[in-house]
Structure 1
Amino acid sequence: MELVRQSLHSRRRGLIGLLASGALLAGAVAASPAQAAPAAPAAPVVKNDTGQAGGRTHNDNLRSPLAVKQDAKRAKALEKRVKGDKSAQGKVAKLGKGQYVELEREGTDRIFAVIVEFGDKQYTGGAGAGAPAGTFTGPPKDGSTTDVTGPLHNQIPAPDRTVDNSTLWQADYSRAHYQDMYFNRMAKYYETQSSGRYSVDGDVTEWVKVPFNEALYGRNYCGGIVCATSKALVRDALAVWVDAQLKSGKTMAEVTAYLKTFDIQDRYDIDGDGNFNEPDGVIDHFQIVHAGGDEAAGDPNQGTDAIWSHRWSANLQSGGPYGVGVDIGSNGGLVSSSDVPNNPTGVWVYDYTVQPENGGLGVFAHEFGHDLGLPDLYDTSGNTGGAENNTAFWTLMSSGANIGDGGPDGIGDAPTDLGAYELFQLGWLQPQGKQGPFYDVAYAGKRSSHTIGSNVPATKKAQALFTVLPDKQVPLELGAPFAGSKMYWSTQGDELNTTMTHAATPGALSAKVNYQIETGWDYAYLEANVGGTWTPVATNRSTTSNPNSQNQGQGITGSTAGQWVDLTGTLPAGTTQVRFRYWTDVAETQPGLRIDNVTLNGTLIGTAESDEGWTFNGFVTTTGTEVQEFFNAYIAENRQYDGYDASLKTAYNFGFPTKQDWVETYPYQNGLLISYWDGSQTDNNVGDHPGKGLVLPVDAHPEFTHWSNGTLMRNRILSYDSTFGLERTDAITLHNPADGTTGTVASKPAQPVFDDTKTWWFGSDQHGATGSHPGRYQPGWYSVDVPKTGTTIRVVSSSMQGNSLNVLVAPK
């Protein structure tokens, strides 16, 4: 879940300062598309650490290896779908032998939710490397709180509504409240988004109490916002619940039978039969609601010991259908304790999401969106003071989860709609009965007219327009050869089976290799031809481990971390040929295998510098510089103030230094939102790659507006007028959170035409370049740098209410 109060609570927690001080006044304007000024190249920028190395992460969507693989398969299939490939038009796509992916979420899923409060015990042990004994005792080192008790539920202080209109609060957070949240309010949200295709039901427990305080599960000891001990709350809360059920008189058989009612799906198709609607022994959708506030909302009571809302997998124990997980009712694994009951049920939990006691509909729907496979679309480095992009309030999977209705009782309870990209990911733009599909496809270089209904689902018109562009070509730097000017390369891609073959005799073979191969899924092999049969040869780099039934024997997988290493093996008696082979499955592309200086019995037989008798079937020689191609497209959607998008009228801003919990509201501009879908990117972290992202809105009015000291207004303010259309934009006046002074973004002329030969992204302005511009917000974080394909998208006309836009796609 995205950090909500990015200016005020950062001071409480001692995080990076998020807004530069200085008075706000008139907006200085940078070059606009009409001026056709060349985009300044982005200056070097300090990259924000969004990785998970060493357990450190600034992300709240922590995907398991199974989820990563599933997401890669879905991405490949959806690219095929939008191009019209018949193999990807059904509810389930077959991508290869035993490789399936579900493309349409339909029906009613069951959620099992446990609501949990905390005891007062402090965990005195450690949690492995980097977390010695004592890590979880006492208050956090950053001084964000001195409270080391609980919390119990219903202890969140009532906000003072004279100075706080942003905090959600009620006197009693009961089981009935969460039953309403999940199975009434969130169910209706997803029923609306899916046009009635999808909903949820299930059950919520009564409050259970784990023995330890929240510090064990929420403390940021690993250097990120979510650490591994957060998973232990899943195990401990379920163990306490199972124990309470048994003590109430239920038998283990009754408890187990009840848990199995939440296992109706094989969500990862573990058995590889393409049937996702069968039990697999694991709870389908598990949720934790914890007492107390959310670290993402700047909880002032538990500080950085508060748990940050997130999605992850509880891989604390070996065993179960997925190989790892938690046997519900047991207490084994990381930070285990005899203070937690131990009554294993044999039913497992793996995926989970966690939300706070006073979470609004937005955070519940957002985290569940992750559980359905949706990514975060905001820049996740912004959670700890990094960058911000322009997705902002346009989608539930960004700041749209945190938005309110403009009333006095808090923000985060009136989320905006999902965007067209997200609806497409879940299959909710596909045909229903005889109607649909609910998206149109256009192609660069071809003229076509389209009518786009509003983004509110259940329209009879197309809800989105995808304009497919020529594949994007991106340089690929493989690194230098081990020796000389060339090396051998397997090439990269999905469903490869590439080889390089040479005449050979029995004996010792060695080579230098450098590889990055999808661990446990894709493999390279050294093979010998004996009597006309190719046989895998054991090497010092190979393995017989076969976790996903992909290893054909003595496979080489994983990574050498960019280093050249020795490969050695012995070709058996009777060998007449030797070959290197690279085999990949249907998704998740890695750079593959590089080979140099191949020797056989001490004789050099492969340097890649000349024709040395190798026969290539897919392998190539390379200097290390290649070109790779990626799918890319524009996505156009009609955003109006209807349905959940009524909240676009009430985007918020924290602008009052003396009332740090007070928000003011302003409207986002209705109209045609055009985003660039770039298959060469895996996230929207513009701090790492300015101007580039997986799916980012094109700002129809990319002029910068500054505070008087030259610092930029933040992205989620300036993104408000990103839409194309036939009306002037609204002027807005807001306050600077640094000093409370006001400033205005002026009304701008209508912008009916998107022309991708013009410039919609700028890496610098008159105050500085990206990475050196005054203040936190950098020019290169705004809008998106689109390819110059000569494609135009024009809003030709609009219905009176704006719920229907006529759009022309044409070459320039």
Structure 2
Amino acid sequence: MRTLITLLSAALLFVGAANAAPPDASAQARQIDDLAALRFERLGHPALRWDAIPPVEAPASRPHRLLVVLVEFADQRFDRFAGDPAQPQKLVEHYTTALFDPTYQRVGTLSHFYRDQSLGLYHLQGLVLPPVRLDKPLAAYGAPTRPAGGDWRDDVAAEQMVVDALGKAVKANPDLDWPALDVWDPGDADGDGLRGEPDGYLDHLVLVYAGGGQSSCHGLFKLGEVFTPNVGPEVLDTLPPAARDCANRLWPHRFVVAQGEGTGPVVEGRANARGGVELRPGLWARDYNMQPEYIDVSTFAHEFGHSIGLPDIYARTSSNSTGPWAVMSGTADPLPQNFTAWSRLMLGWLRPKIIRPPAFGGEKVQSVYLRTLDDAPDAPDRARDLQAAGVWRAALVALPPKTRVLDVAPLPKGRALYSGQGNDLNRIVELRVDLRDKQGPVRLSFAAFWSIEAGWDFAYLETSTDDGHTWTRRLPEDRRFMPAKHGHDGEDTLPGFTGLSGDFDGDGKNENHKGCDPKKPLAHGEERAGLAVNPCELATWVRPRFALDDLAGHQARVRLRYFTDMAAVMPGILIDDVKLEVGGKALIDENFDDNIGRAWRLDGFIAGTGRYEILVPHYYLLEFRDPYGAGYDQQIAYRPALRFWYDPQAKVLRAVRIRPRPGVVAWYADGAHAWSENDPAEHRQGHGFLLALDAWPNELALPGLDGWMTGDAAHFDTGYKVDTPEAQAAIEDGFHRMTCFVRDASYRALDLPKDRCARPDAGVAALRFEGLPLMYSYRLLNDILPGPEREAFWPASELLDYRKRGDAITWRLRDRSLRHVHTFDAPFALDDFPDGVELYEVRDGKLVRTGSRPHPAVPRFHDGDPARWANPKLYFGGVAVPDVGFGFELARPKADAPKPARVKVYFTWDR
């Protein structure tokens, strides 16, 4: 299910470098130089767009301002301060205090967090408006829907909710200082190189809506296993009422109001026509994010990271190795953990020490002191002195560039035009034709091959007869080539090509592909991991034709425009053999094999063979993280859930607490992938744009379950095997014993027998841990509002699970929970971390500690044994490291090393 910044990508196109031609040495050197100078915007290629963010800065004298609009629905009011006549004003005061601080001193506010993370370069304040009440119920905006050919969307009309809420907010606040909310021009709309100026759009907008969010109950009801590519709207009627209520909730997200494309505010006489919704003359809204009232401040910090350009780092359909080490990944609660060095680097808030490879000017042995990433900002002179002494917050190890091979599509012969692929594209191939003296039918046809994110991204065929001042979308004579009902910019717009060429009914399957079995279900989510591509998910060449009779008698322009949003990357579109016939005679016959005629204009499209060899950057980024220090990383270690399971050997309920270790987190950034591509289920194990090396990639051995463990920890290939009849029976029994203890009746599974629990209450509620009572984590998130009431409990979760397919049930471990805690020992360190794994059992109504294990010390890394860093049984963790002869080793700083130094890191190259 796509959560507005979610979905599939073009993993099948990632062939690799095995058959690539040797890269040009000068091109490699230029790329290393650009990477070392942090010129990320120069690292792209027309066929593979490189994501980059211009520096995001705002001084204290001119902070960015975040507009917060509180939203209620016709059937859902705010729970906080419910029944209090002063509720509207109290809500304003609550969110103003929680999110903003004019002094930048109150820890946990967005104001403090972003000033802290930016080392004083970025300042944020905000304004909270009283609640507005929408006329429609929650489900009118939040109910799931599935576009033709695409995956399910969590919310049917989230953008319309933004439009409706803003309409009421503007009307209710006529005297608001709206211009103060527009001081930022992130896209440099006027091309003057200045970004600290108005661009006609709200800089930042958050909607806080009444009630809970779908993200807090989605896993409880296993909705990801309900809304699959193999079902349609009829599945909604099969949901129990509680699950349907969850599905009707809105998912917290960031996106844009995409309507009104080609329109926008006029600033200094120039239109900034990015679309959106007009609020008042000269001010529009486009970018937004929304959160439910049951979300902690940490999620506000995460979503605001999107508002300034950062991507999600977690895997959207499965899991990856990023764990708790990034606020843009597994966000901590109630306050956020730190941004990674990578996020700060992208935003222009951090300059790391650059380590060059020997072939590009570096020494074979280099070293650096790493300080804690979130040390307090230094005065400029002090910062320079520390760097001169070799003390840095992060180190970037530039690796020799590699080649990514894109095999987009087989061409019958010669060349074709290709749109390229990437996020936020608006690429055009345009044909100008003089039809002023022409009469008769006008027909345009071309060969086309496309694989485009269905329902979100489109290739539009558009025409103009007024020299491009206005454009009209066109439909093909055979509408089966465009089964979508509308375009990306609203239900009242015409569609373009989307999904798969050859999928004529919009069901997401190309029945015209040889080998496609339409009756075979499509794999989805983590089920896709390691599977061969289903032929039904492959495009085929087609030939759409368009009737353009109205162009006769005009100087005409015809264009194909490839539009993509900010999330998910698919291969795009190729076109070839373009024919324009007027009155039955060929006027244009272009196959792009030779020099393209002057009638054509390419803006982003490129001519090629369908196979592209692209030089891409990749690098390691090392940072020292300490969850037990003084900064925001304390949140990583703050109240990690106690995870329960039933031990079938000792016949007792057990629990485990995993504690994150301090140390060097080593990130691998891979330019072969776009920012929305970080999911092993789509890109193979260990592949993505930003993954964390796991220093100890072994499965967590749990008493009573470790009999099902296979492999050897010394070889880093451990994993559970629970598909035997004995294991299945034991886990089934253990699941019911566990869930009857952890959950009360209102949170127990709806699709399992109700008679397995002897009593309706949760036994876990009688336990205390570190002085606090325990509560099932899903209940904590859905029933208790953030704040002191929620902080009065310790979260409890589970390690046994099941998966249901029809009437068949497979009993399993709760893999996602295990994958998350695998990453707690990911940092490299010189010493064992004692009590990394704490074990407990329930005995006589109390939690009794029964033992602990350390996280082993791992002080060194070398890429000569790639299998060491990617356990084959933990498919959704680890990194597929490149073998380039690189390694690093940790050492203790000498006694007289500068005080902030936490560790010395030696970098070595053996080739």
Q: How many residues align?
A: 593
Indicate yes or no: 2:862 matched with 1:755. Answer: yes
The answer on whether the counterparts of 1:792 and 1:809 sit within 8 Å (CA) in structure 2 is yes
Indicate yes or no: 2:84 matched with 1:109. Answer: no
1:157-212 Cα shifts (integer Å, max 9, x gaps): 9xxxxxxxxxxxx9996322211122121110111101111121121122333333
Once the two structures are TM-superposed, the CA of residue 754 in structure 1 deviates from its matched residue by: 1.2
Indicate yes or no: 2:297 matched with 1:376. Answer: no
1:678 counterpart residue number: 670
Q: Please list every run of 5 or more consecutive structure 2 residues that lacks an aligned counterpart in the other structure.
A: 9-29, 43-50, 102-108, 221-241, 266-272, 384-390, 431-437, 475-495, 502-538, 549-558, 647-653, 709-719, 721-812
Local SS of the residue matching 2:99: helix
Local SS of the residue matching 2:875: helix
RMSD: 5.4
Once the two structures are TM-superposed, the CA of residue 367 in structure 1 deviates from its matched residue by: 0.9
Alpha-carbon spacing, 1:346–1:596, altered in 2? closer, same or farther (3 Å): closer
Indicate yes or no: 2:821 matched with 1:717. Answer: yes
C-alpha distance in 1 between matches for 2:655 and 2:419:
53
Local SS of the residue matching 1:475: strand
Alpha-carbon spacing, 1:240–1:608, altered in 2? closer, same or farther (3 Å): closer
Stretch of structure 1 that moved more, 203-212 or 215-224: 215-224
Aligned AA for 1:685? D
Alpha-carbon spacing, 1:83–1:541, altered in 2? closer, same or farther (3 Å): same
The answer on whether the counterparts of 1:210 and 1:237 sit within 8 Å (CA) in structure 2 is yes
Alpha-carbon spacing, 1:603–1:368, altered in 2? closer, same or farther (3 Å): closer
1:721-757 Cα shifts (integer Å, max 9, x gaps): 11112112443035799xx999988435421111112
C-alpha distance in 1 between matches for 2:207 and 2:578:
55
Alpha-carbon spacing, 1:799–1:648, altered in 2? closer, same or farther (3 Å): farther
Once the two structures are TM-superposed, the CA of residue 231 in structure 1 deviates from its matched residue by: 2.4
Once the two structures are TM-superposed, the CA of residue 720 in structure 1 deviates from its matched residue by: 0.8
Select 2:889's aligned residue among 794, 799, 804: 794
1:227 counterpart residue number: 155
2:99 counterpart residue number: 182
Indicate yes or no: 2:643 matched with 1:655. Answer: yes
Indicate yes or no: 2:221 matched with 1:243. Answer: no
Q: Which runs of structure 2 are paired with 1:746-785 in the superposition (5 Å)?
A: 746-758=853-865, 759-762=867-870, 764-765=872-873, 779-785=874-880
The answer on whether the counterparts of 1:150 and 1:214 sit within 8 Å (CA) in structure 2 is no
The answer on whether the counterparts of 1:650 and 1:667 sit within 8 Å (CA) in structure 2 is no
The answer on whether the counterparts of 2:58 and 2:196 sit within 8 Å (CA) in structure 1 is no
C-alpha distance in 2 between matches for 1:263 and 1:717:
42
Aligned AA for 1:208? V
Aligned residues: percent identity? Answer: 22
Indicate yes or no: 2:81 matched with 1:154. Answer: yes
Aligned AA for 1:154? F
Aligned AA for 2:624? N
Indicate yes or no: 2:367 matched with 1:449. Answer: yes
Once the two structures are TM-superposed, the CA of residue 669 in structure 1 deviates from its matched residue by: 1.1
Local SS of the residue matching 1:789: coil
1:97-146 Cα shifts (integer Å, max 9, x gaps): xx9962243322111111223333xxxxxxxxxxxxxxxxxxxxxxxxxx
Aligned AA for 2:827? T
Q: TM-score, normalised by structure 2?
A: 0.55
Alpha-carbon spacing, 1:680–1:544, altered in 2? closer, same or farther (3 Å): farther
Stretch of structure 1 that moved more, 644-653 or 672-681: 644-653
Aligned AA for 1:628? I
Indicate yes or no: 2:207 matched with 1:288. Answer: yes
Q: TM-score, normalised by structure 1?
A: 0.61
Q: Which runs of structure 2 are paired with 1:721-760 in the superposition (5 Å)?
A: 721-730=825-834, 731-733=836-838, 746-758=853-865, 759-760=867-868
Stretch of structure 1 that moved more, 208-217 or 362-371: 208-217
Q: Please list every run of 5 or more consecutive structure 1 residues that lacks an aligned counterpart in the other structure.
A: 1-48, 60-76, 90-98, 121-148, 158-169, 246-251, 329-343, 382-386, 404-411, 430-436, 500-506, 525-539, 571-579, 766-778
The answer on whether the counterparts of 2:665 and 2:826 sit within 8 Å (CA) in structure 1 is yes
Indicate yes or no: 2:398 matched with 1:468. Answer: yes
Aligned AA for 1:241? A
Alpha-carbon spacing, 1:376–1:468, altered in 2? closer, same or farther (3 Å): same
1:138 counterpart residue number: none
Once the two structures are TM-superposed, the CA of residue 799 in structure 1 deviates from its matched residue by: 6.9
Local SS of the residue matching 1:202: strand
1:378-429 Cα shifts (integer Å, max 9, x gaps): 1122xxxxx1112111011111x2x3xxxxxxxx212210001111111101
Q: Which runs of structure 2 are paired with 1:305-384 in the superposition (5 Å)?
A: 305-316=248-259, 319-321=263-265, 322-328=273-279, 347-381=283-317
2:324 counterpart residue number: 393
Q: Which runs of structure 2 are paired with 1:546-565 in the superposition (5 Å)?
A: 561=501, 562=539, 563-565=541-543
Once the two structures are TM-superposed, the CA of residue 635 in structure 1 deviates from its matched residue by: 0.9
Q: Which runs of structure 2 are paired with 1:427-446 in the superposition (5 Å)?
A: 427-429=348-350, 437-443=351-357, 446=362
2:772 counterpart residue number: none
Local SS of the residue matching 1:324: coil
C-alpha distance in 2 between matches for 1:612 and 1:152:
66
C-alpha distance in 1 between matches for 2:256 and 2:395:
35
C-alpha distance in 1 between matches for 2:469 and 2:371:
46
Alpha-carbon spacing, 1:672–1:569, altered in 2? closer, same or farther (3 Å): same
Alpha-carbon spacing, 1:189–1:797, altered in 2? closer, same or farther (3 Å): same
Once the two structures are TM-superposed, the CA of residue 567 in structure 1 deviates from its matched residue by: 8.8
Local SS of the residue matching 1:211: coil
C-alpha distance in 1 between matches for 2:596 and 2:305:
54
The answer on whether the counterparts of 1:441 and 1:465 sit within 8 Å (CA) in structure 2 is yes
2:506 counterpart residue number: none
Aligned AA for 1:637? E
1:27 counterpart residue number: none
Structure with the higher helix share, 1 or 2? 2
Once the two structures are TM-superposed, the CA of residue 225 in structure 1 deviates from its matched residue by: 5.9
Once the two structures are TM-superposed, the CA of residue 541 in structure 1 deviates from its matched residue by: 6.4
The answer on whether the counterparts of 2:319 and 2:680 sit within 8 Å (CA) in structure 1 is yes
1:574-629 Cα shifts (integer Å, max 9, x gaps): xxxxxx999999x99977756469999999999999x9999xx998874x555333
The answer on whether the counterparts of 1:491 and 1:620 sit within 8 Å (CA) in structure 2 is no
Q: Which runs of structure 2 are paired with 1:384-423 in the superposition (5 Å)?
A: 387-399=318-330, 401=331, 403=332, 412-423=333-344
Stretch of structure 1 that moved more, 599-608 or 784-793: 599-608
1:278 counterpart residue number: 197
Once the two structures are TM-superposed, the CA of residue 453 in structure 1 deviates from its matched residue by: 1.6
